[in-house]
Structure 1
Amino acid sequence: MILEIVSPEAKLFSAAVTSVTLPGINGSFQILNNHAPIVSILEKGEVKITADSFAFAKEVAGKFTKINDQNYTLSINSGTIEMKDNKVIVLVD
């Protein structure tokens, strides 16, 4: 599936991923390939991204924390998420 993470300042990430775990207002939840369509509000926490490989633009690479070669996290204050047709769009603040 494709994951796009966008902030008011810039597009932070756009690539194919295996899964993404998000801090929902009712608890953390994970999205995998072929997940049902969903729209949700996010609260302060960490977005956890799992992918086979990562490539970040130089200007945003410092916002992500490397867990291992296939996992990175991004701290957010709030946001929204939409999953539809194997494309996840996350708007973060």
Structure 2
Amino acid sequence: MYLEIVSPEATLVTGTVESVTVPGVNGEFQMLNNHTAIVSTLEKGKVKFSGNPSIAEGHDNKFSQEDGKWVLHISSGTIEMKDNKVIILTD
């Protein structure tokens, strides 16, 4: 599936991933390939994804790795998953 993470400063991540885990307001949840369409708000926590997408130059310091997954700490945001494309808007 395709992942795009967008912040007010830049598009931070673009590319193919195997899974995405996000801090939903009703608890953490994970999306895999062919997940049903969903729109949700996100709360403070970690966005985790596995794969090798492109991380925007100059923004790689916002990401760490944990248990073989990329991690981005967020304060809040929204997520949309549709047709194997995940778009995360975060601050």
TM-score computed with the length of structure 2 as normaliser: 0.94
Per-residue Cα deviation, 1:17-43 (whole angstroms, up to 9, x for no partner): 000000000000000000000000000
Q: CA deviation at 1:56?
A: 2.2
Amino acid of the residue matched to residue 16 of structure 1? T
Pairing 1:64–2:60 present: no
Q: What is the DSSP-based 3-state SS (H/G/I as helix, E as strand, rest coil) of the residue aligned with 2:58?
A: coil
Instruction: Identify the residue that residue 12 of structure 2 maps to in structure 1.
Output: 12
Q: Does the CA-based 8 Å contact 2:13-2:53 persist in structure 1?
A: no
Instruction: Identify the residue that residue 86 of structure 1 maps to in structure 2.
Output: 84
Q: CA deviation at 1:71?
A: 1.1
Q: What is the DSSP-based 3-state SS (H/G/I as helix, E as strand, rest coil) of the residue aligned with 1:28?
A: strand
Instruction: Identify the residue that residue 3 of structure 1 maps to in structure 2.
Output: 3
Gaps of 5+ in 2: none
Pairing 1:23–2:23 present: yes
Q: Alignment length, in residue pairs?
A: 91
Matching of residues 28-47 of structure 1 within 5 Å: 28-47=28-47
Q: When you count strand as a share of all residues, which structure comes out higher?
A: 2
Indicate the RMSD between aligned Cα atoms, in angstroms.
1.2
Q: Percent identity?
A: 57
Gaps of 5+ in 1: none
